[in-house]
């Protein structure tokens, strides 16, 4: 079911870790951001849009993680975009004959059979100088950074005051660093500074996973994420409740421990943070 969170901006929440698909209404149809994750959920989303009389005229993937590059034939064949680095990342995966097997390792087993793979990752990389999504609707500004994944993009829907954050600023997931990057800590803190610089223009924030919240919580989420990343950097015991005994998802403490271990290994090897 679609829920309006701002004028002309609607969200569909998946059962899978509260994944948010975002719909932005334009003149002749909608921009669809990060649709997912099961086939049935995307069919329902397509049906809801058909009821609204709003075809999909463009798609966008905030980054190349499998749950953000999905699609379904019922959504139509509109052009699907991502940043140049995002597109290059998923195209590199798809270039391998065994890409489905590689992805299968990371799929949630309870949903694996329900996730449509045939149209996964078929996105076009926008020019590196592109500052907004090319479509006939409200201006959607691209804020590219390197936190979490190569070419990750947050989106600011101007005149609606909505920040689509991708896999950041979640109330249920702590920051997941891109530990293959040259400087994962530095990249993440830099992205949070970007978000902080635009906070006065934001009335609502939509994370890739978790609850949609108002402007009052944006700075609080930035502060919480920054504190967590700094705890990782300094090898401190974190007080972040998202990885504590009351964590929403019981596997998050294990991911936290893994991140600490990987960062410790990087320090031992003299690799920059």
pLDDT in tens, 241-254: 999 988 889 999 99
Q: Is residue 161 part of a domain?
A: yes
Determine the pLDDT at residue 83. Answer: 98
How does pLDDT run across 101-138, given as a tens digit for each residue?
Answer: 999 999 999 999 999 999 999 999 999 999 999 999 99
Range of the domain at 33: 2-268
Determine the pLDDT at residue 116. Answer: 96
Mean pLDDT of the chain: 95
Q: Is residue 245 part of a domain?
A: yes
* pLDDT band at residue 272 under the 50/70/90 scheme: low
CA distance 137 to 26: 4
CA distance 25 to 10: 8
Task: Compute the average pLDDT of residues 27-46.
Answer: 97
Q: Is residue 121 part of a domain?
A: yes
How does pLDDT run across 76-101, given as a tens digit for each residue?
Answer: 999 999 999 999 999 999 999 999 99
Compare 181 and 268 and report the one with higher pLDDT.
181
Non-local (6+) Cβ contacts of 21 within 8 A are 11, 12, 13, 14, 32, 33, 34, 35, 36, 45
First to last CA, the chain: 41
Determine the pLDDT at residue 273. Answer: 67
CA distance 72 to 59: 12
Q: Is residue 247 part of a domain?
A: yes
| Integer angstrom CA distances of residue 268 from 15, 186, 188 | 40, 18, 21
Q: Is residue 127 part of a domain?
A: yes
Name the domain count of the chain.
1
Task: Compute the average pLDDT of residues 197-223.
Answer: 95
Determine the pLDDT at residue 101. Answer: 95
The kind and range of the H/E element at 10 are strand 9-13
Question: In b/e form, how buried is each residue of 20-53, taking b as 16+ CB within 10 angstroms?
Answer: bbbbbbbeebbbbbbbbbbbebbeebbeebeeee
Task: Compute the average pLDDT of residues 138-155.
Answer: 97
How does pLDDT run across 37-87, given as a tens digit for each residue?
Answer: 999 999 999 999 999 999 999 999 999 999 999 999 999 999 999 999 999
Q: Is residue 34 part of a domain?
A: yes
Determine the pLDDT at residue 223. Answer: 97
Q: Is residue 273 part of a domain?
A: no
Q: Is residue 11 part of a domain?
A: yes
pLDDT over 90 (residue 9): yes
- CATH number of the structural domain spanning residue 85: 3.60.15.30
């Amino acid at each position: 079911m679609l829920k309006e969170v701002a004028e002309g901006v609607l969200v569909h929440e998946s059962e899978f870790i509260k994944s948010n698909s975002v719909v932005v209404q334009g003149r002749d149809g909608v921009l669809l951001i990060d649709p997912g994750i099961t086939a049935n959920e995307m069919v329902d989303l397509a049906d809801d849009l058909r009821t609204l009389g709003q075809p999909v005229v463009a798609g966008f993937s905030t980054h190349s993680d499998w749950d953000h590059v999905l699609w379904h034939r019922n959504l139509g064949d509109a052009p699907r975009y991502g940043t140049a680095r995002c597109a290059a990342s998923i195209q590199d995966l798809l270039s391998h004959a065994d890409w489905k097997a590689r992805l299968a390792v990371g799929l949630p087993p309870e949903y694996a059979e329900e996730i449509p793979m045939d149209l996964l990752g078929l996105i076009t990389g926008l020019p590196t100088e592109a500052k907004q999504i090319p479509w006939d609707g409200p201006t959607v500004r691209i804020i590219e950074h390197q936190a979490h994944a190569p070419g990750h993009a947050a989106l600011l829907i101007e005149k609606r005051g909505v920040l689509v954050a991708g896999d950041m600023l979640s109330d249920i997931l702590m920051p997941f660093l891109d530990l293959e990057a040259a400087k994962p800590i530095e990249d993440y803190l830099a992205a949070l500074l970007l978000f902080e610089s635009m906070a006065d223009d934001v009335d609502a924030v939509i994370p890739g996973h978790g609850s949609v919240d108002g402007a009052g919580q944006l700075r609080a989420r930035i502060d919480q994420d920054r504190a967590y990343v700094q705890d990782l950097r300094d090898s401190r015991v974190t007080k972040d409740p998202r990885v504590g005994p009351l964590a929403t998802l019981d596997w998050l403490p294990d991911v936290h421990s893994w991140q600490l271990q990987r960062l410790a290994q990087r320090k031992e090897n003299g690799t920059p943070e």
